[in-house]
Structure 1
Amino acid sequence: MEAKIASSEPETAAAVIEEPAVTAASAHPPDVEEKARISRQVASKWVKTSVLRQDGRVAQHIPETRIFTPDNLSAMLARYGKVVMKPVVGTGGSGVIMVIKSGSSYTIRHRRKATRYRSFGGMLAAVKAIKRKRSYLVQRGIHLATIRGRPIDYRVKVVKVNSRWVTRSMVGRLANPGMFVTNLCRGGTMLSSAEGIRRSLSGSLVRRKKNEMRNVTRISTHLLEKHFPGIGELGFDYGFDRSGRLWIFEVNTRPH
């Protein structure tokens, strides 16, 4: 039986910080929230992605993802033209790299800097200097919907309270100008999910797109809890491409 998730998500970005909706779930004593904070952690993005791939209803929303090797990077760039590389273990957008192939040249975007290389070998050396000895994933780059040229994605946070999963928030995260990562700790701007969808896609799609995220969250939560008993909170990172297709980029068991 799949996990049922009750929704107590705030309708505005401000409510996330200042005035979260008071529900039966949020009215529980502080020790319940504390239990969620010390729940089981699963650090590896690769392990969690592998679990989510087991259900076709979720797998169809996951961009192709591989463990980094030079051959995998080359193949993914040849297929998609753009990839995002990120540490297997890491949070907050730290160490995330975008690589774009254009003809025979390559561009690396890291933080606010974009550097062009004339050969795969030159680009690869630069990637290795950034990643150092850390294990990395290579994920298909998605052309996200934007607001005035700034990419936007979404964070859906759910917590388990008294054996029941509850949606705590569903918010948009707008990348800082000149950045491709949307993390708030990297200068991203938080706004309500409804506003993000309305401004980047269409107001007529708000309800449908929010329901898509809720549905994938429900199925994914069931899968992850089945494989990792003891998890108590999850943060799902979603994005819609320019055509409105939903993608899930990763799941955190210790969401900020």
Structure 2
Amino acid sequence: MSRQLASKWRKTAALMKYPVAAVHIPQTKAFNSRNLLYMLQRHGMVFIKPIVGGGGYGVIRVSRSGNIYRYTHMQVNRSFTSFTQMYRSLVRVKARRKYLIQQGIHLATIDGRPVDYRVKVVKTEHGWVFRSLVGRLARPGLCVTNLSKGGTMLSGKKALALSLPHIANRYKRHEMRSLTLNCTHIMESQFPGIGQLGFDYGLDHSGRIWILEVNTRPQ
């Protein structure tokens, strides 16, 4: 049976040890008041995510614009005039589990809806092989793209063509596959026994690839 690893923190920390992967990882910190204020001051927008969990469950988008703080949890949007007010409310609505804070990436969009990518690989007797490279388009009004939250699956080729028409489509898909192979070898060296991986990538408006998450039990 393929080894599974639930902790987003452990998987991120493993990849961060290697420059080939680290340059693609958004800044990540443990969730607390001090770190959240720092990350908002530095990046303007972040996502807080349960360290253990999947399917977009519990993910909250938090942003700062001047002295206004906002968060989006599913389709609920709230605004506050102070960080302290916002943080208290956030603690009440987030899932009762440990969280991390991830630098927010302004993803390329299709009709204003963010799109990201899932690349899945499995290990066979002949080594690691690609199973799929697909795009996931968020449901209108949501900031998460998960299919379980109403997202729409597209071919990777179509998602790239619609969201980043000025980017060389074939080259970008090759770049995602190459990054996937590098990261797969890193993950296998750090966590022997894994047999399948799903890499969630986000591309910003310039086409830069960001590693949003790695799953050892991809759906």
TM-score tier by shorter-chain length is over 0.9
Counterpart pick for 2:192 among 221, 229, 233: 229
Q: For the structure 1 residues 204 and 132, does the alpha-carbon distance in structure 2 shift closer, same or farther, using more than 3 Å as the test?
A: closer
Q: Which runs of 5+ in 2 are unaligned?
A: none
- Give CA-to-partner distance per residue, 1:128-167, whole Å, 9 cap, x none: 1123531101011011000010000000000011151111
Counterpart pick for 1:206 among 151, 164, 169: 169
What does 1:164-175 align with in structure 2 at a 5 Å threshold?
A: 164-175=127-138
Counterpart pick for 2:157 among 194, 211, 217: 194
Q: Which runs of 5+ in 1 are unaligned?
A: 1-37
Say what the alpha-carbon RMSD is for the aligned residues: 1.0
The equivalent of 1:248 in structure 2 is 211
Deviation at 1:66, TM superposition (A): 0.7
The equivalent of 2:13 in structure 1 is 50
Tell me whether 1:182 sits opposite 2:145 in the alignment: yes
SS in 2 for 1:157: strand
CA distance, structure 2, for counterparts of residue 161 and residue 169 of structure 1 = 15
Deviation at 1:55, TM superposition (A): 1.1
Q: Tell me which of the two structures has the higher relative contact order, counting C-alpha pairs closer than 8 angstroms and 6 or more residues apart.
A: 1
**Higher mean displacement: 151-160 or 123-132:** 123-132
CA distance, structure 1, for counterparts of residue 167 and residue 149 of structure 2 = 30
Preserved contact between residue 70 and residue 80 of structure 2 (Cα < 8 Å)? yes
CA distance, structure 2, for counterparts of residue 152 and residue 238 of structure 1 = 9
Deviation at 1:253, TM superposition (A): 0.3
The equivalent of 1:66 in structure 2 is 29
So what's the TM-score if we normalise by structure 1? 0.84
The equivalent of 2:103 in structure 1 is 140
CA distance, structure 1, for counterparts of residue 113 and residue 94 of structure 2 = 25
What does 1:60-139 align with in structure 2 at a 5 Å threshold?
A: 60-139=23-102
The equivalent of 1:35 in structure 2 is none
CA distance, structure 1, for counterparts of residue 95 and residue 145 of structure 2 = 23
- Give CA-to-partner distance per residue, 1:25-59, whole Å, 9 cap, x none: xxxxxxxxxxxxx3101110000000101111111
CA distance, structure 1, for counterparts of residue 168 and residue 126 of structure 2 = 32
Preserved contact between residue 197 and residue 203 of structure 1 (Cα < 8 Å)? no
Moved over 6 A (4+): none
Q: For the structure 1 residues 251 and 164, does the alpha-carbon distance in structure 2 shift closer, same or farther, using more than 3 Å as the test?
A: same
Preserved contact between residue 201 and residue 211 of structure 2 (Cα < 8 Å)? yes
SS in 1 for 2:192: coil
CA distance, structure 2, for counterparts of residue 127 and residue 115 of structure 1 = 10
Preserved contact between residue 3 and residue 216 of structure 2 (Cα < 8 Å)? yes
CA distance, structure 2, for counterparts of residue 184 and residue 48 of structure 1 = 22
Q: For the structure 1 residues 76 and 195, does the alpha-carbon distance in structure 2 shift closer, same or farther, using more than 3 Å as the test?
A: same
So what's the TM-score if we normalise by structure 2? 0.98
SS in 2 for 1:211: helix
